[in-house]
């Protein structure tokens, strides 16, 4: 009775979803042998499958022709992010920090530990600066502490058994290095997969319903491609080895590149908690998310040469660094017809500076910048403010910067070119300001007849009368260089001196 009730619930769920959503149907009329294994005879094992994909869920009907059904028979369904082609890495630990490497980021390459250590520039001892002759200890693990591991970033696998046991997510141990860097765990997604099995005249049928949470990893709002593969595993009585057939004609373990690929005519309904889908869509960014703690959470990935130590970067080997991203959304109005939405992305990536991106949506337009400033955050009621001009149009203040060296290496490693723009929402600039304080101690105000100021130690901005008058407080390297400049926005919407 329980199975009949469950089957009714499953069929009702899938039929209601397909009636209410766009869907894409796929079919697999042929299953293939696994490389290095023989193809079973059609009498012994064969299969066909149908899939139906909606924005929220995926449904599979898998028909297996099998002359002997045992409790060990099962099927596995894998998912892989379309932008992930491999899962083999080289991993090490040092000072409770996890390092993830690879010979290269090329999908055709492999994580080969012997080549990694012997044939490239991974340090065998101290690092020596060719110019100064100074030696430093590497910040990376010793070579003999490295090992090759599979890390299933962007990959999930689920098992469905012929004995109707609970659907199970597999490989939860293959996320640990990724989770160590992110500081959060991928949820066990088993409960988001439901299925029913029934015997047929020639074998067994699996009816499976899976929520899109089973992907585990996704691209928020914009994801229209899916990689997946269905593997049929058959264990006959008295057999010592499994027979496997797959929906992929060229199946290799841990390489989503070889999975079946589909393009949906709609985007999957995957949105980080607390952020409107419309804003992410208009931002135009590819925001990766992981399902952790009961919701989709943002994360990022840096890929580049391995940083062996200060001023030492590998010329041959690649490092992968995963980091969490904090999303903060807010909404306000500055007038009856002007609505402002703001999304902050805060994260610590492989660079030496805390990243704080700011996206401001004013009605239907998106403006991007950063929080002030890059070396350490400075409170300001001026930077990233949105205000009304005398003629009723809207303007905002945007801050951005470009570091000389994102890793902070070299004589000017903590130097950046900083830019502040006061602009109307039609992209007309009212005032541009630039500074290079840490490296050159100067700033320039305006473009026509620019005002150049030397011996600058720090700069702060503040509204004195919001939307009308602001001050630039400049602290000089010497006290005599201190000054405060005041500007106002006149009735014509122009920025002029108020001194």
For position 200, which CATH number holds?
A: 2.60.40.1190
Nearest to 186 by CA among 196, 177, 199, 195: 177
Give a yes or no: residue 75 inside a domain. yes
pLDDT of residue 383: 98
Same domain, 383 and 252: no
- Answer yes or no: is 202 within a domain: yes
Structural domain includes residue 493: yes
Residue 336 is predicted with a pLDDT of 83
Range 391-395 contact pairs with CB under 8 angstroms and sequence separation of 24 or more: 391/493, 392/335, 393/424, 393/425, 393/426, 393/493, 394/334, 394/335, 394/338, 394/362, 394/424, 394/425, 395/422, 395/423, 395/424, 395/425, 395/430, 395/493
Q: Are residues 345 and 450 in the same domain?
A: yes
| Number of domains, the chain | 2
Same domain for 205 and 338, yes or no, is no
One domain for residues 347 and 242: no
Check if the beta carbon of residue 441 is closer than 8 Å to that of residue 451.
no
483 and 366, same structural domain?
yes
453 lies in some domain: yes
DSSP, collapsed to helix, strand or coil, labels residue 356 as: strand
| Residue-wise DSSP of 196-208 | EEEE-SSEEEEEE
222 shares a domain with 344: no
Q: What is the DSSP letter of 21?
A: S
CA distance 298 to 349: 13
| Same domain, residue pair 233 and 371 | no
pLDDT at position 190 is 98
What is the predicted pLDDT for the residue at 10?
54
* DSSP-assigned states of every residue in 50-66: EEEE-SSEEEEEEEEEE
Of 244, 263, 282, the residue at which a domain comes to its end is 263
Range of the domain at 179: 2-85+151-263
Which one, of 419, 416, 417, lies nearest residue 431 by Cα? 419
Same domain, 473 and 382: yes
The residue among 215, 197, 216 whose CA lies nearest residue 206 is 197
**CA-wise closest residue to 463 among 373, 394, 385, 382:** 382
Domain end: 229, 263, 297, which one?
A: 263
- Tens place of pLDDT per residue across the chain (499 aa): 444 444 444 554 555 555 557 999 999 999 999 988 889 888 789 999 999 999 999 999 999 999 889 999 999 999 999 999 999 999 999 999 999 999 999 999 999 999 999 999 999 999 998 778 889 999 999 999 999 999 999 999 999 999 999 999 999 999 999 999 999 999 999 999 999 999 999 999 999 999 999 999 999 999 999 999 999 999 987 766 789 999 999 999 999 999 999 999 999 999 999 999 999 999 989 999 999 999 999 999 999 999 999 999 999 999 999 999 999 999 999 988 899 999 999 999 999 999 999 999 998 899 999 999 999 999 999 999 999 999 999 999 999 999 999 999 988 999 999 999 999 999 999 999 999 999 999 999 999 899 999 999 999 999 999 999 999 999 999 999 999 999 999 999 999 999 8
Judge whether 313 lies within some domain.
no
Domain edge (last residue) among 263, 292, 319: 263
**Is the dihedral angle over the CA atoms 19, 192, 286, 385 positive or is it negative?**
positive
In a domain, 122, yes or no: no
270: in domain? no
Per-residue pLDDT at 499? 83
């Amino acid at each position: 009775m329980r199975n009949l009730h469950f089957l009714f619930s499953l069929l009702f769920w899938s039929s209601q979803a397909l009636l209410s959503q766009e869907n894409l149907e796929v079919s697999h009329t042929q299953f293939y042998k696994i490389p290095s294994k023989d193809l079973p005879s059609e009498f012994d094992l064969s299969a066909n499958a149908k899939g139906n994909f909606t924005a929220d869920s995926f449904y599979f009907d898998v028909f297996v022709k099998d002359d002997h059904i045992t409790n060990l028979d099962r099927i596995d369904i894998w998912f892989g992010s379309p932008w992930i082609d491999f899962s083999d890495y080289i991993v090490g630990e040092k000072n409770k920090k996890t390092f993830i490497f690879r010979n290269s980021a090329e999908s055709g390459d492999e994580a080969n530990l012997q080549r990694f250590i012997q044939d490239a520039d991974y340090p065998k001892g101290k690092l020596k600066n060719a110019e100064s002759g100074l030696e430093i200890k590497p910040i990376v693990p010793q070579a003999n502490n490295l090992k090759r591991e599979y890390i299933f970033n962007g990959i999930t696998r689920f098992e469905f058994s012929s004995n109707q046991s609970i659907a199970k997510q597999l490989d939860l141990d293959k996320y640990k290095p990724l989770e160590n860097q992110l500081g959060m765990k991928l949820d066990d997604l088993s409960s988001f997969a439901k299925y029913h099995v029934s015997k047929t005249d020639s074998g067994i049928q699996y009816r499976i319903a899976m929520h899109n949470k089973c992907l585990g990893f996704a691209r928020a709002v914009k994801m229209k491609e899916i990689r997946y593969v269905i593997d049929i595993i058959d264990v006959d009585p008295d057999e010592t080895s499994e027979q496997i057939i797959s929906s992929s004609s060229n199946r290799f373990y841990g390489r989503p590149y070889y999975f079946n690929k589909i393009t949906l005519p709609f985007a999957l309904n995957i949105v980080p908690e607390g952020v409107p889908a419309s804003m992410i869509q208009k931002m135009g960014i590819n925001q990766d998310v992981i399902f952790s703690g009961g919701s989709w959470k943002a994360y990022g990935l840096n890929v580049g040469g391995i940083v062996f130590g200060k001023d030492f970067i590998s010329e041959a080997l690649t490092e992968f660094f995963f980091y969490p991203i904090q999303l903060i959304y807010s909404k306000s109005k500055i007038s009856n017809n002007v609505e402002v939405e703001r999304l902050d992305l805060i994260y610590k990536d492989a660079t030496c500076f805390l990243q704080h991106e700011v996206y401001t949506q004013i009605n239907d337009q998106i403006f991007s910048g950063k929080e002030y400033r890059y070396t350490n955050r400075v409170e300001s009621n001026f930077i990233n403010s949105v205000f009304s001009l005398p003629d009723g149009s809207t303007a905002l203040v945007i801050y951005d910067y470009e570091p000389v060296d994102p890793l902070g290496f070299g004589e000017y490693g903590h130097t950046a070119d900083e830019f502040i723009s006061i602009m109307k929402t039609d992209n007309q600039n009212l005032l541009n300001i630039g500074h290079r304080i840490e490296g050159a101690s100067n700033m320039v105000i305006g473009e026509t007849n620019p005002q150049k100021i030397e011996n600058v130690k720090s700069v702060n901005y503040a509204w004195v009368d919001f939307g009308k008058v602001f001050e630039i407080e400049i602290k000089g390297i010497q006290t005599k260089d201190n000054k405060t400049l005041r500007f106002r926005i006149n009735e014509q919407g122009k920025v002029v001196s108020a001194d």
